[in-house]
Structure 1
């Protein structure tokens, strides 16, 4: 799990190959603390996505207890750390399927 988390950190904090560097310890600490917000947001949104999928009875029946234990909200294949992000503040995430 630690390797998975470190891989996510490298994807999210991609500047300087994901290494927390700086002129002093305080700079590195601020960078690390700033990394916590996108990490928390990623896990929260992924948790909502997983809940939406698991709310579907077809998926609920397909997954075994072992499958459910293997689920983790820490995935980042849908993250685009490069390029442009268009933010529409008038549009909300569709979370209606989430219980």
Structure 2
């Protein structure tokens, strides 16, 4: 076996090992995705419940401190939902990139 062929085989073996590592990383990240989606959906549910509570308050309470705290909570939950949604989208991008690297 010539030196070039031996080097090619060694590089090919290393490349196969790296591809397996990439696949393992991708699978680990893919396993996290449903959990992130579930948390994002839970945040949305709580936000919607808080918004409903605010909407069902008498106007006098909506304009008071209690209403302000409720509206602040809705705003913060909306921000948390948006961040989680961005995280899921970013994770999808990472998974696609890893699939490309694995090919």
Q: What TM-score results when the alignment is normalised by the length of structure 1? A: 0.39
User: Of Structure 1 and Structure 2, which has the larger fraction of its residues in helix?
Assistant: 2
Rg (Cα) greater in structure:
2
Task: Name the structure, 1 or 2, with higher relative contact order (CA <8 Å, separation 6+).
Answer: 2
